[in-house]
Amino acid sequence: MQKVRTVYLNGAFIEEAAATVPVMDRGLLFADAVYEGIGVLDGRLVDGLKHLDRLDRSLESVSIPRPMSRDDMITMLRELVALDGLDEGFLYLHVTRGVAERDYVHGGDLVPNVFAFTQPQHGVSADSEPVFRTLRTFPDLRWLRRDIKTTNLLGQVLAKQAAFDAGDDEALLVVDGGEVTEGGAVSFFPVVGDRLLVRPLGPEILPGVTRSSVLPVAEAEGLIVEERTYTVDEAKVADEAFITGASSYVEPVGAIDGVPVGDGSVGPWVRRLRAAYLADVRTRLL
């Protein structure tokens, strides 16, 4: 018999079927909400403090008040993981501006709705052999503040669905001229020789938490981090490439638009980075 999933909603842990949000919630009507996706490894939160820092930044950027203290949120997230008995997977945390009659102007005095739930590991587990992911390019249709982690994800939905329909695992988003921004739900990195190409942070991309942890590991392993923009054509002729995400860690890219990346095997840099990153984060699980 399948275990009933627990959902945290506004101060209570309840069964998933009983967790509901009002129709007039602004997150539902306007995507007036922010969220975080946190990896769970060994029953604990991966880079939990970094994720909560980013959540605070998103809340401040759109003027939604923090719904609870940092300590209370950590306690809640840990309890949710324990209640679901999750050893490895994903934890989703969502904060909306609150409920009001539908109007673009919100008045600024609403009480946020907060909910969270877990999901089991969908991809390859941390201790398994990495598996190639294939990417499909798609125009970057998102709004101009991609650095804020809002729930306005229609651009990513369209891109990732197009990739899936083409038989690929993930979208690679590009702007006019073929410049790469990032993946549909991941950060993307080509490796050329001993150089790691890294798009600079800015409004064009999300400041990935896993990215922030992988880059110092890459430098420690001997890669030269070259922070600049680059094109899809450059990415396709890279020696290796990989993606990073909260619960996918570091995964090798096998092809972009059907064009193989590298020699068809998991490259030495990606293999080293995955192992070194996992070893590093395991020393500071929350």
Q: Which residue, 242, 238, 239, 234, is CA-closest to 217?
A: 242
Q: Give the chain's mean pLDDT.
A: 94
Question: Out of 50, 149, 160, 236, which one is annotated catalytic?
Answer: 149
| Angle between helix 209-221 and helix 268-281 axes, rounded to 10 deg | 120
Q: Are 19 and 115 in contact (CB under 8 A)?
A: yes
Q: What is the pLDDT of residues 214-253, one digit of tens each?
A: 999 999 999 999 999 999 999 999 999 999 999 899 999 9
* CATH architecture, range 6-120: 2-Layer Sandwich (3.30)
Q: Are 57 and 78 in contact (CB under 8 A)?
A: no
Q: What is the pLDDT of residues 20-76, one digit of tens each?
A: 999 999 999 999 999 999 999 999 999 999 999 999 999 999 999 999 999 999 999
Enter the pTM of the model: 0.93
Q: Where are the domains of the chain?
A: 6-120, 133-281
Q: Which residue, 11, 145, 25, 152, is CA-closest to 97?
A: 25
Tell me what pLDDT residue 255 has: 95
List, edge to edge, every strand of the sheet that includes 12-15.
12-15, 6-9, 113-120, 89-96, 33-41, 44-45
Q: Look at the domain 133-281 and name its fold.
A: D-amino Acid Aminotransferase; Chain A, domain 2 (3.20.10)
Q: Which two tokens stand for residue 171?
A: 């979208």
Q: What is the pLDDT of residues 111-143, one digit of tens each?
A: 999 999 999 987 788 888 888 999 999 999 999
- CA-based torsion, 23, 120, 251, 55: positive or negative: positive
**149 belongs to the catalytic site:** yes
- The reply to whether 6-120 and 133-281 are identical in fold is no
Q: What is the pLDDT of residues 249-281, one digit of tens each?
A: 999 999 999 999 998 788 999 999 999 999 999
Q: Are 240 and 181 in contact (CB under 8 A)?
A: no
Torsion, CA 63, CA 68, CA 74, CA 78, rounded to 10: -110
DSSP 3-state helix, strand, coil percentages of the chain (rounded to 5)? 30, 30, 40
Tell me what pLDDT residue 44 has: 96
